[in-house]
Every structure is written in C-alpha cells, then in structure tokens.
Chain A
Amino acid sequence: MVENTDLRKVLRGYSNKWVALSADSRKVVGVANTPKKAIKQAHINKEISPILTRVPKNPTAFIL
C-alpha cells in the first residue's frame, strides 16, 4: 500500500471537521464534528482502519 502524503487536496473543504481517511490516506471516508461519528461513517463506508485527523479552521502556521 502506497500512502498518500500530500493531503492538501483530500482535506480541502473540511475546515473545522474531524475527517476519517482511508488507510492509504487517498480518500475521505467520514466527516463529522466528533471522532466517534467520523469513525462510524468510515465503518459504514466499509473502511475498517480509518485514520482520523482534524482539519483546522484556518490553515495557519503552528508553533506548538
């Protein structure tokens, strides 16, 4: 499995949401306001190993 590491296009349009990505990060399999709901959608879409990430409200720089 070759993972997609350029997440710009795949995450575009999901500002301020939890996004469940397919195991190879190539497609969105769930979108919700909480991880639980995003996982539920992923499972409905038959993705057994989704990867969750949260898309920030604004794509600013981070110094954590």
Chain B
Amino acid sequence: MIVTLKYAYRKFDATPSGAFPRRHSVSRPVIPIQLINGENKVGHLALIDSGADFCVFHGSLGEAIGLVVESGKPENFSGVSGKGRPLVAYFHSIRIEVGGHIFDCWAGFSKEIEGLPYGLLGQLGFFNLFDVHLDYNKRRIELKIKDKT
C-alpha cells in the first residue's frame, strides 16, 4: 500500500523589495515534524529543501532533545552565498516523525544556523525516504513513503 501524506504550503510575512514591490507574503514548503532522541522529542516546522545535501537543524533544537551537539560527527557545509568559511554541523542518529510515521535519520545539528527560521529537510535523511511532489501553483505538498524493498 502506498502511503501519501498531504500538506499545504505555509504562508509567511515578507517585505516588498525593488524586485518584488507588491510582495507582502511568501509561501514555502514547510511541514511539521518531530525530532526524536530516545524519549525526548520536539515539534518543528522544517523546510523541504531539495538543494540541501542532508538534513540539518539548529543546534539549539538538538539540545532541546537532549543531544550534546558537538559530540556528533562533524561535517562542513556551505550555503548559496558561498561567503566566508564553511559552517559545521555535527551528525547524530535520531528519528524523525512525519505525518505519524517514524523514520531513522542521520541528521546534522549546527549552532551556526541559529539565525535561520527553519531546519532543512534535505536529500539524505528526507528525500531518500519520500517521493516528494511540490506544486507551487496549488500550494500543495505530497509525500509518498518509498517502499523499502
């Protein structure tokens, strides 16, 4: 049986700019998930980001589920700005709950992304679990759980 999870894009405030003078909001593919470490779990709105190589969340969220963030395995990464030194994330084996379904996830936690509004659901740890369909015009998200076989 194919399990399909359906969500709507979420709408956030945005300021007008020279390029988008009439913009007052943006719609993003953000979904509620749970980050789970043993008995500890925390809900979070995370961004589905096909451009991210892996999942990375705020270090402070890692601490909220009882992780000692810097005890994980380090990985350097860069954002689209390409400015400055690479950032570092520390990887831990956690579980994520999406739509009531729980999955193992090798996820990074970084104290250097605290300024971002969302953790990122990237290729490894999310896209390997789901067939992802984002329909911007309808503001709809469909996630089909991949068959493990």
Collect the chain B residues with CB atoms within 8 Å of residue A28's CB: none
Chain B 21-55 interface residues, beta-carbon cutoff 8 Å to A: 25-26, 28, 32, 42-45, 47, 49, 51-52
Residue among B9, B80, B117 with most chain A CB within 10 A: B117
Answer yes or no: B3 CB below 8 A from chain A CBs.
no
Chain B 94-149 interface residues, beta-carbon cutoff 8 Å to A: 114-118, 120
A35 and B14 form a contact (CB under 8 A): no
Overall SS of chain A's interface: loop
Number of interface residues of B (CB under 8 A): 35
B115 and A51 form a contact (CB under 8 A): no
B42 and A39 form a contact (CB under 8 A): yes
Q: How large is the interface on A (under 10, 10 to 19, 20 to 34, 35 or more residues)?
A: 20 to 34
Proximity bits, B78-93, A CB within 8 Å = 1, else 0:
0110000000000000
- Pick from A7, A23, A52: contact of B61, CB below 8 A: A52
Across chains A and B, the number of contacting residue pairs, with CB separation under 8 Å, is 84
CA–CA, A6 to B58, complex, Å?
A: 23
Proximity bits, A43-62, B CB within 8 Å = 1, else 0:
00000011111111111111
Collect the chain A residues with CB atoms within 8 Å of residue B5's CB: none
CA–CA, A6 to B78, complex, Å?
A: 30
Given A12-B13, A51-B45, A59-B13, list of 16 further CB < 8 A pairs? Answer: A5-B11, A7-B12, A11-B12, A21-B45, A35-B42, A35-B58, A35-B61, A36-B60, A36-B63, A52-B42, A54-B118, A58-B15, A60-B15, A61-B14, A61-B26, A62-B28
